[in-house]
C-alpha cells in the first residue's frame, strides 16, 4: 500500500510541472502577426497543459508555459519555425471549498495555431 501511495505522489508531482521544451524547439517563434507570402504553411496544431486531475495543483504559470512548450515542440517536429497563434483558452473546473459556496480554478491551458516555415535572413 505504501508503494502505491509513493508512486501516486510522484506521478502527481511530475504532472504538476510544465512540459519540457525540446532543445531544438527553443528557436520556434510564437507570434500574433500572420507570416507573409515568403513563409510556407505546414499545418495546424494544438498545444495544451493540464487536466481535471492535475490541473488544480499546477500553477497558472506552469499551465501556460507547458502549453507553449507543447506548441513549439510540435511545430519543430513538423519542420516549422513560426507559429501564428489563433486561440488561447484556459479551462476551469468547479471546486468545492471549505467556506460557503464553491469556486472555479484554472485546470488547463490550450493554444492553437498555424505552423509555418519562414526562411531566415
pLDDT at 98: 44
Cβ pair 21, 69 in contact under 8 A: yes
Range of the domain at 67: 2-117
Question: What pLDDT, in 10s, does the model give residues 53-72?
Answer: 665 666 767 778 888 999 99
Q: How many domains does the chain have?
A: 1
pTM of full prediction above 0.85: no
Do β-strands 102-117 and 40-49 pair in parallel, antiparallel, or remain unpaired? antiparallel
What CATH number should be reported for the domain holding residue 23? 3.30.110.70
Q: Which residue has the cell 480554478?
A: 105
Question: What pLDDT, in 10s, does the model give residues 82-96?
Answer: 999 998 766 655 454
Amino acid at each position: 500500500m505504501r508503494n502505491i501511495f509513493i508512486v501516486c505522489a510522484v506521478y502527481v508531482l511530475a504532472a504538476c510541472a510544465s512540459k519540457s521544451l525540446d532543445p531544438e524547439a527553443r528557436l520556434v517563434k510564437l507570434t500574433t502577426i500572420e507570416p507573409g507570402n515568403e513563409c510556407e504553411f505546414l499545418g495546424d496544431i494544438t498545444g495544451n497543459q493540464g487536466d481535471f486531475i492535475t490541473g488544480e495543483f499546477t500553477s497558472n504559470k506552469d499551465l501556460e508555459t507547458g502549453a507553449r512548450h507543447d506548441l513549439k515542440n510540435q511545430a519543430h517536429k513538423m519542420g516549422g519555425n513560426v507559429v501564428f497563434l489563433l486561440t488561447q483558452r484556459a479551462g476551469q473546473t468547479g471546486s468545492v471549498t471549505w467556506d460557503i459556496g464553491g469556486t472555479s480554478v484554472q485546470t488547463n491551458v490550450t493554444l492553437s495555431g498555424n505552423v509555418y516555415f519562414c526562411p531566415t535572413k
